[in-house]
Amino acid sequence: MRLSGEHCRPLDHGAHPIPYNEAKELAREVPEWNLRDTSLEREYRFKDFGESKGFVDKVAGIAEAENHHPDIFISYNKVFLSLSTHRAGGLTRNDFILAARIDQAFQPA
């Protein structure tokens, strides 16, 4: 995949969200994610809390390395992630890069 080979880039304060057409195009590279107006969302299911937590540990490591942090919701065997670039008020290429990198780390239960 192309996006998963990229790294998130620092954004200045005047950063803008990418146009919707471009977002739709990038979303085709991360087809498991739901494209919302200002976010990318995906739910993962695991065997139990321990597996969910193991996945969140990986996500946290990627987030710190990329300095881009998803919202993370853990409910026992389910992990819900929401990606958005708050500084830009919507989606940037960084969100799609992070989605692709997270999917690389995901091993289905």
The residues binding a copy of itself (CB under 8 A) are 49-50, 53, 56, 60, 63-64, 69, 71-76
Closest distance of CB 95 from a copy of itself, Å: 15
CB-wise, 58 or 93, nearer to a copy of itself? 58
> What is the secondary structure of the chain as a DSSP string?
--GGGS------TT--PPPHHHHHHHHTTSTTSEE-SS-EEEEEE-SSHHHHHHHHHHHHHHHHHHT---EEEEETTEEEEEE-BGGGTB--HHHHHHHHHHHHH----
Closest distance of CB 79 from a copy of itself, Å: 10
Closest distance of CB 28 from a copy of itself, Å: 28
